[in-house]
Amino acid sequence: MRGELYIKAVACAALLGIVGMGCKSNDNAGLTSIPSFAGSGNNPGGGNPNTGPGNGNDTGGLPGGNPNGNGPNTTGTDNGDPNTPLTIPENFQEQRDIFERVHFDYDSSELRPGDKDLVAQVAQHLIQNPQHMMLVEGHCDERGTEEYNLSLGERRALTVAEELVRLGVSADRLGTQSLGEKVPLSETDSKAARAENRRGEFVLFMPMTGVVELPQN
Amino acid sequence: MRMVWCLLAFGVLELSSIQLHAGAAPAGGNLQVVGEARNKLIPVALEGFTGEVASVLKFDLEVMGCKVVPSADAAFLVRGKADGSVVGALTDKAGNPGFNRRYSGGNLRDQAHALSNDVIQALTGLPGIASTRVLFKMKTGPRAEEVFLSDYDGHKPVALTNDKTLVSAPRWSPDHSKVFYTTWLKRGGIENTTVIQQNMKTGEREVMARYRGLNTGGALSPQGFLAMILSRGGSPDVYVAPPGWKFMEDLKGQNLRRMCVTREEENGVTWSPDGQWLCFATRANGKRMLVKVAAQGGNMIRIPTSGVLNPSEPNWSPDGKSIAFTAAMGGFNVCVVPAQGGAATVVAAGEAPTWAPNSRNLIFTRRGVNKRQLAIVDVPTKQVKILPAFVGSASQPAWGN
């Protein structure tokens, strides 16, 4: 009950825009404006929008091809509306250092068993603070090529997001973003530095003045 | 920026239209020519040139498979001067004349590039690439990169973007009228990668994809199909948009065709020059590999790259015969494989290769201690020329025309 009141208070604050300074979008004159995507509708289908028959006559096909142009989504992830980027209200602030980072083995996007508790803490927070939103960032060390690392970083972020969804967080509050090898924590050329750079970061978005529900110990 | 671009184009045009042929000797008269199929460096001597013109000629000719040597060791001689404009005469060792020309228009660098092209054309019958340009990205701050355009040798760099954010994978459209790249520009409080198309003449920009998650790798086919890597389906996969498709009119992506369905990290989409095949890097059964898919959809077919490991960043040659890519085996190696697959050849230490219009040279990235630099390799001879360093770290070059 108490928690519910807090949430309502926070939600009201958000709605009324009591706190000024929103994060200003970095508008660029030359760029075709992107629609606000406000009210990101939930389109849970997430199905494959492909049309048209494929050419299934090729030999030597590999698993994972899409010869019919409409195969199932083998990831088994309901990522909310897969089309609409997460949209952060103007009066929300970004909190980057609340949650501990998770780390990955070289060339891997598998969640380490020891990091599952960290993800569980994030999930608990998001479940207890339903207006909060989360961007999961995926980062790589510099041993892959740039284009490979960009896709690998996304794969890492998606693996973390999948775990959050599995733990009960609604997918439409989650976004993923790969930074590839672009934003290393350490630029030292050492094994330890590379291990530190292969990471997932949790970027929390919450109302400017807010009350954060903490776990009741 | 736009102004600079126009001036540049005008200068090059001017150069080719006002070019004078002062010499009386008919080109190719008795010159002993080398021909197209050559995998040995052609020894060429330069006489009479000094300063910038001499260094441009040396760089150009060595990029295109020559070795600049003393006159006594040369099979061919380029003799000339730069007295306000560049004059150059080509002869072979026996003194047989090739051509004798005076160049005008542009600046001395442009004229020297034109002379280099004429030398290569006369010696091999193939057009030179010394007057081409390249796109690349350059780091301009702690969390800022911009797309740049420069002469192919790295001179006269001009920023095409001024967004002060991260960018990735600049690519030309097949007709070079547009470029595609990935930006991390913030919208709606969030960066969310976005594929941008930018018109080279007008500077006008259009959002080509901004779905949730990863949007990158924009590559246009000659028929106008746009391939991209998107993670909207739950994992990075290759999608193709039909000609004339507008992201703003298809925000749900209903007309996108998904070309593969995997949990793996597809990357580096490149079209065959006839637009019939799409090649990219993926992983199957734990092994990273290059695959191709027919433009109309179909199974992924492996392109074997025997002899090397972990291929990524494929780039199909303009003549359709070869695919260049990066192999990651401890360090990075630029490799070339026949387009149908086979034994891969390591041609240089480096990564992210893209082909020159001559299907012979590759421009690529080489990592230094604190900076990434661009370099060019002449594939048949494996001769590497490093481009002069820029202010910031430069990478992901894309060779234009």
pTM of the entire structure? 0.83
Check if B332 contacts A (Cβ < 8 Å): yes
Query: Residues B16, B164: one domain?
Result: no
Taking one residue from A and the other from B, the number of pairs with CB-CB distance under 8 angstroms is 266
Number of folded domains that form chain B: 2
How far is the alpha carbon of B244 from chain A, nearest alpha carbon, in Å? 16
Residue finishing a domain among B96, B124, B152:
B124
Asked if pLDDT for residue A20 goes beyond 90, the answer is no
Choose from B299, B308, B309 for mutation: most chain A CBs within 10 A: B299
For residue A71, the number of C-alpha atoms closer than 13 Å in the C-beta half-sphere is 22
For residue B376, which of B391, B368, B390, B366 has the smallest C-alpha distance?
B366
3-state secondary structure of A62: strand
pLDDT for position B390? 87
Q: What is the mean pLDDT of residues B99-108?
A: 94
Which residue did the predictor score with more confidence, B14 or A117?
A117
Query: Residues B154, B116: one domain?
Result: no
Asked if pLDDT for residue A159 goes beyond 80, the answer is yes
Q: What is the DSSP letter of A173?
A: G
Q: What is the CATH number of the domain that holds B54?
A: 3.30.160
Which residue did the predictor score with more confidence, B345 or B19?
B345
| Residue among B206, B248, B265 whose CB faces A155 most closely | B265
pLDDT band at B10 (very low <50, low <70, confident <90, very high): very low
- CB within 8 Å of A46: residues ≥ 6 apart: A73, A77, A78, A79, A80, A81, A82, B233, B234
pLDDT for position B96? 92
For residue B200, which of B223, B175, B179 has the smallest C-alpha distance?
B179
Q: Which of A182-186, B30-34, B155-159 is predicted with the least confidence, judged by mean pLDDT? A: B30-34
The stretches of A71-202 forming alpha helices (DSSP H) are: 116-128, 146-166, 191-197
How far is the alpha carbon of B323 from chain A, nearest alpha carbon, in Å? 16
pLDDT for position A206? 93
Q: What is the DSSP letter of A206?
A: E
Query: Residues B242, B105: one domain?
Result: no
Query: Residues B340, B377: one domain?
Result: yes
pLDDT for position A82? 64
pLDDT for position A29? 36
Query: Residues B369, B299: one domain?
Result: yes
Query: Residues B152, B205: one domain?
Result: yes
Q: Which CATH number fits domain A90-208: 3.40.50.300, 3.40.190.10, 3.30.1330.60, 1.50.10.10?
A: 3.30.1330.60
pLDDT for position A99? 97
Asked if pLDDT for residue B132 goes beyond 60, the answer is yes
Query: What is the Cα–Cα distance from B20 to B363, expressed in whole angstroms?
Result: 31
Asked if pLDDT for residue B134 goes beyond 90, the answer is yes
Asked if pLDDT for residue A3 goes beyond 60, the answer is no
pLDDT for position B369? 78
Instruction: Return the number of other C-beta atoms located less than 10 Å from residue B246's C-beta.
Output: 12
Query: Residues B83, B172: one domain?
Result: no
ipTM of the complex: 0.89
pLDDT band at A26 (very low <50, low <70, confident <90, very high): very low
Scanning the structure block, which residue is given the tokens 């990592």? B367
Check if A151 contacts B (Cβ < 8 Å): yes
Query: What is the Cα–Cα distance from A134 to A151, expressed in whole angstroms?
Result: 20
pLDDT for position A63? 61
Q: What is the mean pLDDT of residues B96-100?
A: 93
Query: Residues B199, B112: one domain?
Result: no
Q: Which of A33-47, B130-144, B190-204, B349-363 is predicted with the least confidence, judged by mean pLDDT? A: A33-47
Query: Residues B266, B120: one domain?
Result: no
When the pLDDT of each residue in chain B is averaged and rounded to a whole number, the result is: 91
Query: Residues B165, B220: one domain?
Result: yes
| Residue among A88, A148, A158 whose CB faces B235 most closely | A158
Interface of A with B in 20-79 (CB under 8 A): 22-23, 25-26, 28, 30-32, 34-37, 43, 46, 48-67, 69-77, 79
| Residue among B188, B189, B298 whose CB faces A67 most closely | B298
Which residue did the predictor score with more confidence, A1 or A204?
A204
| Residue among B253, B263, B313 whose CB faces A49 most closely | B253
Q: Which of A2-11, A177-186, B112-121, B312-321 is predicted with the least confidence, judged by mean pLDDT? A: A2-11
3-state secondary structure of A106: coil
pLDDT band at B50 (very low <50, low <70, confident <90, very high): very high
Q: What is the pLDDT of residues B252-295, one digit of tens each?
A: 999 999 999 999 999 999 999 999 999 999 999 889 999 999 99
pLDDT band at A214 (very low <50, low <70, confident <90, very high): confident
pLDDT band at B322 (very low <50, low <70, confident <90, very high): very high
Read off the tokens for B219: 């590559």
Scanning the structure block, which residue is given the tokens 């990831």? A75
Read off the tokens for B148: 């740049």
Q: Which chain B positions have a beta carbon within 8 Å of A175's beta carbon?
A: 190, 192, 212-213
Read off the tokens for A203: 């970027």
CB A60 within 8 A of CB A109: no
Q: Do B300 and A152 touch (CB under 8 A)?
A: no
Share of chain B above pLDDT 70, in %: 92
Write out chain B in H/E/C secondary structure: CHHHHHHHHHHHHHHHHHCECCCCCCCCCCCCCCCCCCCCCEEEEEECCCHHHHHHHHHHHHHCCEEECCHHHCCEEEEEEECCCEEEEEEECCCCEEEEEECCCCCHHHHHHHHHHHHHHHHHCCCCCCCCEEEEEEEEECCEEEEEEEECCCCCCEECCCCCECEEEEEECCCCCEEEEEECCCECCECCCEEEEEECCCCCEEEEECCCCCEEEEEECCCCCEEEEECCCCCCEEEEECCCCCHHHCCCCCCCEECECCCCCCEEEEECCCCCEEEEEEEECCEEEEEEEECCCECEEEECEECCCCEEEEEECCCCCEEEEEEEECEEEEEEEECCCEECEEEEECEEEEECCCCCEEEEEEECCCCEEEEEEECCCCEEEECCCCCCCEEEEEECC
Residue finishing a domain among B68, B101, B124:
B124
Asked if pLDDT for residue B236 goes beyond 50, the answer is yes
Residue finishing a domain among B124, B143, B166:
B124
How far is the alpha carbon of B358 from chain A, nearest alpha carbon, in Å? 25
Q: Which helix (H) or strand (E) holds A8?
A: helix A2-16
Q: Do B328 and A152 touch (CB under 8 A)?
A: no
Q: What is the CATH number of the domain that holds B295?
A: 2.120.10.30
For residue B311, which of B293, B321, B323 has the smallest C-alpha distance?
B323
Query: Residues B189, B218: one domain?
Result: yes
Asked if pLDDT for residue A191 goes beyond 70, the answer is yes
- Residue count of chain B: 401
Asked if pLDDT for residue B216 goes beyond 80, the answer is yes
Residue B201's domain comprises: 133-399
Query: Residues B105, B168: one domain?
Result: no
Which residue did the predictor score with more confidence, A174 or A37?
A174
